[in-house]
Amino acid sequence: MGPSTVHGNLPQQQREFAAAEARHGLGGVFNALHGALYVNHPAAVSRADFKPAQLQRFVELGLTIPPTLIINDIEAARKFARDHERVIYKTFRGLPRSEDGHTGAIWAQRVDAETVDDALAVTAHLFQAEIPKTADVRVTVVGRQVFGRRAR
């Protein structure tokens, strides 16, 4: 019986408490291991959890990012969509777990000015000019080594 099965039998508040305790307990241990070599140190994972900060860091490192708009203003989003040939919408985090414990996904999706409606005003959204692609690539960086692989 795995932890998710045990947590699944608890009421939601207790499940969330148990998950947070496990995350902070294990995170505390990992953060106390000074001098350990990590792939994805917990602090780095936390920093990478925010797409706007990631995009800013990419620019600081000299990488080019597509025109990007983070907003909940309907007219500004429509103008951005009209100003760029193709625009995609991306989530910041994805969907939270449903009550049955399953997670879903919202993939990057193409939008145009006509599809932007009043629902946009509810929260922040991330729009980017779409970059035409020939393939998906997975890039992993370990120290100063960079490993790239074309996804199939």
Q: Which two tokens stand for residue 128?
A: 């980017």
**pLDDT in single tens digits along all 152 residues of the chain:** 444 455 667 888 888 898 889 888 888 888 788 888 777 777 777 778 889 998 998 899 898 999 999 999 999 999 999 999 899 999 887 777 777 767 777 788 899 898 888 888 889 999 999 998 899 899 888 878 999 999 87
Q: Taking the model in full, what pTM does it have? A: 0.70
Domain ranges for the chain: 1-44, 50-150
- Strands (E) located in 4-136: 68-71, 87-90, 109-111, 125-129
